[in-house]
Chain A
Amino acid sequence: MLAYIIRRLLYAIPILVGVNFITFALFFVVNSPDDMARMQLGVKRVTPEAIERWKSDHGYDKPLFWNGKAAGASKVTDTIFYTKSVRMFVFDFGRADDGRDIAREIKMRAGPSLAVAVPVLILGLFAAISFALILVYFRATYLDAGGVVICVAMMSISSLFYIIGGQWLISKLWHLVPISGYGGLTEGRFLVLPVFVGVVAGVGANSRWYRTIFLEEITRDYVRTARAKGLAEGAVLFRHVLRNALIPVLTGVVVVIPTLFMGSLVIESFFGIPGLGSYTIDAINAQDFAVVRSMVFIGSVLYIVGLLLTDISYTLADPRIRFQR
């Protein structure tokens, strides 16, 4: 198992290198740093001096790949590619345009992101599985058909409407919880609405998916055996079907666990939660290239970790699967 994990980790390296190259190409080859400077300073009436100053302030006043003027090893290290891209592998992200240390911001903001994302994941999983089980229990009845229609209808509503509707109904009309804001984990009332909206927004699509998984499982032989020995339908569902069907469900969930750190872009910015999602949105709106680049890199790392965890969790959940390859 250890050998397998090590091999998978090694396999992740070329992918990360690829990600790094793609982002580098996107940010520096499609546009030169001069273009970025012009964009930042306003397109018109920009003097060449202003561009040079912006570039040297932000460390873009170097050659892309090869610095012929420098001496020794700094021929390679004193370039944009090295300082901006290669340094990311040791999680050195540099500074944002407003001068703050990106790594420190990320550490501070991961907490609030998790405070919303983890409850959304757990409660959402619970809600979707329960709903799907109810539908499967009443399968091939009008209740089931109606439930599927509700799921499809819920899937067809943009998440923006869930947020706006939730804020309007629960906070503005009923005055139950604050509309937005964040007060740390102790101030739970700020978290109620974002979590609730996050759960409701996802429950339609997830329940429908889980229902298909459960229905596929229910046609298996062992389920027929369970029924044949006289088990009640509830016992069949909970003790047999649910436990086996949880394998695809859980492995689908495991892959997103690491990316929870990134938070939800839309929910965080609507509810004013100072997490990584709203950090990313602010950076996009301020056209802060350094922050966006860092977030792309972190997101990819977390996704790869998620894939690795998925593979491991497969074997833990289902002993039939071995690490053969």
Chain B
Amino acid sequence: MSFQPVILPTDALLLLLLIALAFGAWWGRRQEHLRVGWAKVARRPTGMAAATLLTVFVIIGMLDSLHYRPQLPPEPGKPPAYAVEVLSVLDTLLRPLKVDTEKTYSAPLATHLYSKETVDEGGRELREFPRLKYGGARLGNDLAGYDRDIASLALEGLAGGLAASLVFAVVLRRWLRHRQIAWRSIVATLVVLSLLAGPVAMLATGYHVFGTDKVGQDVLYLALKSIRTGLVIGTLTTLIMLPAAVLLGIVAGYVGGWVDDVIQYLYTTLNSIPGVLLIAAAILMMQVVIANHAEWFTTSAERADARLLALCAILGVTSWTGLCRLLRGEALKLREMDYVQAARAFGVRPLTIMLRHLLPNVMHIVIISIVMDFSSLVLAEAVLSYINIGVDPNTISFGTMINAARMELAREPVVWWSLAAAFCFMFAMVLAANLFADVVRDAFDPRMT
């Protein structure tokens, strides 16, 4: 089957980010003080466990960022046409989860719908819970084998997970044993993950592991799709604001004078507008722009993506001020250092001084603030989506999941699984990011020795 690749703006930026990371790693290797910092991080078990978990999330997110439009069945005499729906590689991998939708809510691992419906059975009308179309479909109408089926699937998954863990353990041990890396915690994290993922994956072949939502979509699928949205918000926001923050911060601190005044005025003004309200105002305006320029977007995925990118940009505008202020302070301190004075005495141009002497020496602040911002941005997305100023309602994200599930809390009995799934995935992601940020800060902050 042929397809047409689609590169959404956020995909392109994520790719750019990966390239920037690779470049940063290459550049950082030659910077002694950065290498020492990362080496410290690599020796910390918590840091490496968190990094492993984050890497898994990043892989899922990147798989979800390779978009394409499948070709429609060819009609004779017409040029090949492509579906309007934009799919990602992750969608293809999880195709059963995406396609096998039920009618409405069903509980995790259920075989029947969550609400009663009128069923016509041999002329008599009965109110009962209808059988699910896909959940436990392999059992047929005989539910006697339910327990055995679940148990055998779970065991198969555990066995698979165990096998995968063994492979990870052997390979990583060989590869990393002689380096100064906390490889045991990496292996331990991967073992736990594969022991969890194995049964979930096997059960997902026959059941809805986390149940289904109001329109019958598999909640596990939604949770996995949310990962990309969280990653995009957490990383692209920083990527967008970073150049401005670094440039303005260093220039303000080093050049001083009226330039400093102007830049300080700029960030004090932006800072004094309450963040949520600025975001709300900007998103309201973006909605108007998007609504009035429907012709810019050919697919709904592109429109949702434009909104996501706009959200990142707005969050960037509200969040660069903190970093800028920190960098200004640091540059102010550094410009009085002997080596900078010496460079100036030798007649080195200001631009070169800033690039070669100031930038490398404020990098630790930049790194710390990137990792610290990530978790708060992921959390912010959920809140903003709840107030309807977050991502597009059609974009799958933790915020939209929580928002949809919240409406059903008043139901009796409670529909809890959407919230539980969103909670688990979001908690794992943010906790990993927070732990990693802690380790990175400990390693790079010169005040903590």
Determine if A300 and B288 form an interchain contact, defined as CB atoms under 8 angstroms apart. Answer: no
Chain A residues contacting B433 (CB-CB under 8 Å) are: 156
Any B CB within 8 A of the CB of A164? yes
**Distance in angstroms between the alpha carbons of A43 and B295 in the assembled complex:** 13
CB closest residue in chain B, given A289: B284
Determine if A299 and B273 form an interchain contact, defined as CB atoms under 8 angstroms apart. Answer: yes
Any B CB within 8 A of the CB of A265? yes
Segment of B6-14, B113-121, B129-137, B384-392 in the binding face: B384-392
Any B CB within 8 A of the CB of A9? no
**CB 8 Å contact bits of A159-188 with B (1 = contact, 0 = none):** 111001001100010000000000000000
Chain B residues contacting A307 (CB-CB under 8 Å) are: 272
Q: Which of A220-269 contact B (CB under 8 A)?
A: 259, 262, 265-266, 269
Any A CB within 8 A of the CB of B319? no
Determine if B269 and A156 form an interchain contact, defined as CB atoms under 8 angstroms apart. Answer: no
**CB 8 Å contact bits of B262-286 with A (1 = contact, 0 = none):** 0001001111111011101110110
Partner of B281, one of A23, A36, A285: A23
CB closest residue in chain B, given A173: B414
**Distance in angstroms between the alpha carbons of A66 and B52 in the assembled complex:** 60
Chain A nearest CB, measured from B426 CB (Å): 6
Any B CB within 8 A of the CB of A47? no
Chain B residues contacting A159 (CB-CB under 8 Å) are: 379, 383
Any B CB within 8 A of the CB of A76? no
Any A CB within 8 A of the CB of B421? no
Determine if A266 and B387 form an interchain contact, defined as CB atoms under 8 angstroms apart. Answer: yes
Determine if A259 and B274 form an interchain contact, defined as CB atoms under 8 angstroms apart. Answer: yes
Among A22, A167, A269, A284, chain B packs the most CB atoms within 10 A around the CB of: A284
Chain A nearest CB, measured from B401 CB (Å): 10
Chain B residues contacting A88 (CB-CB under 8 Å) are: none
Among B285, B292, B375, chain A packs the most CB atoms within 10 A around the CB of: B285
Partner of A26, one of B285, B388, B423: B285
CB closest residue in chain A, given B268: A15
Any B CB within 8 A of the CB of A303? yes
Q: Which of A21-46 contact B (CB under 8 A)?
A: 22-23, 26-27, 30-31, 35-36, 38-39, 43
Partner of B438, one of A14, A15, A152, A280: A152
Chain B residues contacting A293 (CB-CB under 8 Å) are: 281
Determine if A281 and B291 form an interchain contact, defined as CB atoms under 8 angstroms apart. Answer: no
Chain A nearest CB, measured from B268 CB (Å): 6
Determine if B281 and A156 form an interchain contact, defined as CB atoms under 8 angstroms apart. Answer: no
Any B CB within 8 A of the CB of A292? yes
Any B CB within 8 A of the CB of A96? no
Among A30, A153, A158, chain B packs the most CB atoms within 10 A around the CB of: A158
Among A156, A167, A287, A289, chain B packs the most CB atoms within 10 A around the CB of: A156
Partner of B272, one of A19, A158, A289, A295: A19
Determine if A22 and B291 form an interchain contact, defined as CB atoms under 8 angstroms apart. Answer: no
Chain A residues contacting B386 (CB-CB under 8 Å) are: 160, 266
Knowing A27-B281, A280-B277, A285-B388 are in contact, say whether A152-B272 is a contact too (CB < 8 A): no
Chain A nearest CB, measured from B244 CB (Å): 16
Any B CB within 8 A of the CB of A296? yes
Determine if B431 and A292 form an interchain contact, defined as CB atoms under 8 angstroms apart. Answer: no
**Distance in angstroms between the alpha carbons of A35 and B284 in the assembled complex:** 12
Chain B residues contacting A27 (CB-CB under 8 Å) are: 281, 285
**Distance in angstroms between the alpha carbons of A14 and B272 in the assembled complex:** 12
Any A CB within 8 A of the CB of B59? no
Chain B residues contacting A158 (CB-CB under 8 Å) are: 379, 382-383, 398, 402, 426, 430
Chain A nearest CB, measured from B415 CB (Å): 12
Chain A nearest CB, measured from B222 CB (Å): 16
**Distance in angstroms between the alpha carbons of A19 and B272 in the assembled complex:** 8
Chain A nearest CB, measured from B31 CB (Å): 27
Interface residues on B, range: 35 or more
Determine if A160 and B438 form an interchain contact, defined as CB atoms under 8 angstroms apart. Answer: no
Determine if B265 and A160 form an interchain contact, defined as CB atoms under 8 angstroms apart. Answer: no
**Distance in angstroms between the alpha carbons of A67 and B435 in the assembled complex:** 58
Determine if B273 and A152 form an interchain contact, defined as CB atoms under 8 angstroms apart. Answer: no
Knowing A14-B265, A15-B268 are in contact, say whether A262-B274 is a contact too (CB < 8 A): yes
CB closest residue in chain B, given A299: B274
Determine if B281 and A19 form an interchain contact, defined as CB atoms under 8 angstroms apart. Answer: no
CB closest residue in chain A, given B276: A265
Partner of A296, one of B274, B285, B426: B274
Determine if B285 and A284 form an interchain contact, defined as CB atoms under 8 angstroms apart. Answer: no
Knowing A164-B419, A299-B273, A299-B277 are in contact, say whether A292-B284 is a contact too (CB < 8 A): yes
Determine if A152 and B285 form an interchain contact, defined as CB atoms under 8 angstroms apart. Answer: no
Determine if B427 and A157 form an interchain contact, defined as CB atoms under 8 angstroms apart. Answer: yes
Any B CB within 8 A of the CB of A304? yes
Chain A residues contacting B270 (CB-CB under 8 Å) are: 22
Chain A residues contacting B379 (CB-CB under 8 Å) are: 158-159
Chain B nearest CB, measured from A291 CB (Å): 11
Q: Which of A262-318 contact B (CB under 8 A)?
A: 262, 265-266, 269, 280-281, 284-285, 287, 289, 292-293, 295-296, 299-300, 303-304, 307
Chain B residues contacting A300 (CB-CB under 8 Å) are: 272-274
Chain B residues contacting A303 (CB-CB under 8 Å) are: 271-274
Any A CB within 8 A of the CB of B205? no
Q: Which of B419-439 contact A (CB under 8 A)?
A: 419, 423, 426-427, 430-431, 433-435, 438
Partner of B402, one of A30, A36, A160, A299: A160
Any A CB within 8 A of the CB of B361? no
**Distance in angstroms between the alpha carbons of A99 and B272 in the assembled complex:** 29
Determine if A15 and B419 form an interchain contact, defined as CB atoms under 8 angstroms apart. Answer: no
Chain B residues contacting A23 (CB-CB under 8 Å) are: 273, 281
Chain B nearest CB, measured from A264 CB (Å): 10
Determine if B291 and A39 form an interchain contact, defined as CB atoms under 8 angstroms apart. Answer: yes
Chain B residues contacting A292 (CB-CB under 8 Å) are: 277, 280-281, 284
Any A CB within 8 A of the CB of B185? no
A-B contact sample (10 more), CB < 8 A, given A158-B382, A262-B274, A266-B386: A15-B265, A15-B272, A18-B265, A19-B273, A35-B288, A157-B427, A161-B419, A266-B383, A293-B281, A303-B273
Spell out A's residues near B (CB within 8 Å). Answer: 14-15, 18-19, 22-23, 26-27, 30-31, 35-36, 38-39, 43, 152-153, 155-161, 164, 167-168, 172, 259, 262, 265-266, 269, 280-281, 284-285, 287, 289, 292-293, 295-296, 299-300, 303-304, 307
- 11 A–B contacts from the bound complex (CB under 8 Å): A19-B272, A22-B269, A152-B438, A156-B434, A158-B383, A158-B402, A161-B402, A164-B402, A287-B287, A296-B277, A300-B272
Query: Would you list the 4 A-B pairs with minimal beta carbon distance, nearest first?
Result: A299-B274, A18-B269, A156-B431, A156-B430
Spell out B's residues near A (CB within 8 Å). Answer: 265, 268-274, 276-278, 280-282, 284-285, 287-289, 291-292, 294, 375, 379, 382-383, 386-389, 398, 402, 406, 409, 414, 419, 423, 426-427, 430-431, 433-435, 438
